[in-house]
Structure 1
Amino acid sequence: MLLQEFWDDRYVGYCERLREVTRVGYESAWRCHVEPVFGSMELADIGVDDIELWLSGFAGPGAARKAWAVLRQMLRKAAKWGYLEVDVTRLEIDLPVKPLYVPRLLTIGQTRRQLQGFYGHALEAWLIVDSCLALRPEEGYGVDWADIDMRSGITHIQRGVQWVAGHEVVVPPKTELSDRFLPLPRFAVRRSATAGRAVSSVT
């Protein structure tokens, strides 16, 4: 079976159960990087040397690793479903070296100045909650007033909001542990409530 046939006949159907943002990413990697090189090859003919030569041609290690993740997933599914006898992804494959990534974090002083800069802004309450709870971007976008217990400050993180392929998508938490309860400090509860009432009175 050709990899293109496997994609069309089996793998696309499997992707339907994935989160939309994941599915869109897989489709992009397939269309841009995997299909042009491996689409016309038989599953059993894709070898380690072919994969390593392909990976060496990427301009950056990030794109190479994302494309490899899609090809690896396809070949592993093909082996699991009986379309491939030898799973080459289980062999040692040299991947492009990723540069060390050290995220830049705001200091306490910088966070304070950021919050002061948003004082009275329509997004102030959201920024307070997002900053104090260190949420993933999609989690921050998904917080609703009903998720916050204004007496205890306990906030239920139970959904995310993503912008995918030109439209908004509400999604469940990324993992089982991502559905969680987090405490807001008292100043955040008091100021969020005040800011929220101010915005409501204007709108």
Structure 2
Amino acid sequence: MVELSKARGSYVDPAPARVTVETWARDWLRSQSQLKPTTLVGYESALSKHIIPRWGRRSLSDIGYAEIQHWISDLSKNLAPQTVRNIYAVFSLVFSFAVRDGRLVRNPAEGIQLPRRIKAKRGYLTHAQVHRLADECGDSRTLVLFLAYTGLRWGEAAARRQRQSIPALRSLFMLSV
């Protein structure tokens, strides 16, 4: 079998895959210089809270698909679906890094069944509620109406120049009660 793998060019020396998940995950994380600091913090959190405690002492080559699937199913009992998906994404990226480095032939986390996303129910204010809210905001009434009816986020509205926005907004909302 080894000779056949060598002939096909798919042979992977098993020795490098004996590195522990913790060692490899930390090495992978150090290599992620392209990420935003907030993303790195999220990855570090997933590693330290969920991945390393469960898998840290195991070698990369000793972990299989079924074990990972059972772990994901267990996580899904106590964590929100998106949290489980985020933890899984980090775990899978660690293994993908090992595949690219030639330590593993394939990623054992590939194809894991993940919990379904739950779409949050969104609540919307009625026109009367929007106007009541705006009235309670005093001098910011026009801004509240602008945000409510345009869908702009606060940062987008705050970035607008006053000379461009305020006169136009006042005239626009003078029609409102």
TM-score range, shorter chain: 0.5 to 0.7
TM-score (norm 1): 0.60
Are the counterparts in 2 of residues 44 and 86 from structure 1 also a CA contact under 8 Å?
no
Are the counterparts in 1 of residues 64 and 108 from structure 2 also a CA contact under 8 Å?
yes
Q: How many residues align?
A: 152
Structure 1 residue 34, shift from structure 2 partner: 0.8
Amino acid aligned to 2:27: D
TM-score (norm 2): 0.67
RMSD, matched Cα: 3.1
- Decide which structure has greater strand share: 1
Q: How does 1:1-150 map to 2 (within 5 A)?
A: 1-14=19-32, 16-58=33-75, 59-60=78-79, 61-91=81-111, 93-120=112-139, 127=144, 130-135=147-152, 140-141=154-155, 144-145=158-159, 147-148=160-161, 150=163
Q: Deviations over 1:62-118 (max 9, x none)?
A: 332221121122222332333322123333x22223444322233333333222221
Higher relative contact order (Cα pairs below 8 Å, separated by 6+ residues): 2
Are the counterparts in 1 of residues 85 and 114 from structure 2 also a CA contact under 8 Å?
yes
Look at both structures and tell me which one has the larger radius of gyration over its CA atoms: 2
Are the counterparts in 1 of residues 28 and 97 from structure 2 also a CA contact under 8 Å?
no
Amino acid aligned to 1:38: W
Give the Cα–Cα distance (whole angstroms) in 1 for the partners of residues 57 and 127 of structure 2. 54
The alpha-carbon distance between structure 1 residues 42 and 127, as it changes in their structure 2 partners (threshold 3 A), is farther
Amino acid aligned to 1:81: D
Are the counterparts in 2 of residues 128 and 188 from structure 1 also a CA contact under 8 Å?
no
Q: Deviations over 1:28-47 (max 9, x none)?
A: 11111111111122223222
What secondary structure, in the 3-state scheme, does the structure 1 residue paired with 2:41 have?
A: helix
Give the Cα–Cα distance (whole angstroms) in 2 for the partners of residues 189 and 78 of structure 1. 61
Gapped runs of 5+ residues in structure 2? Answer: 1-18
Q: Provide the identity percentage.
A: 24
Residue of structure 2 in register with 1:181 after alignment: none
What secondary structure, in the 3-state scheme, does the structure 1 residue paired with 2:123 have?
A: coil
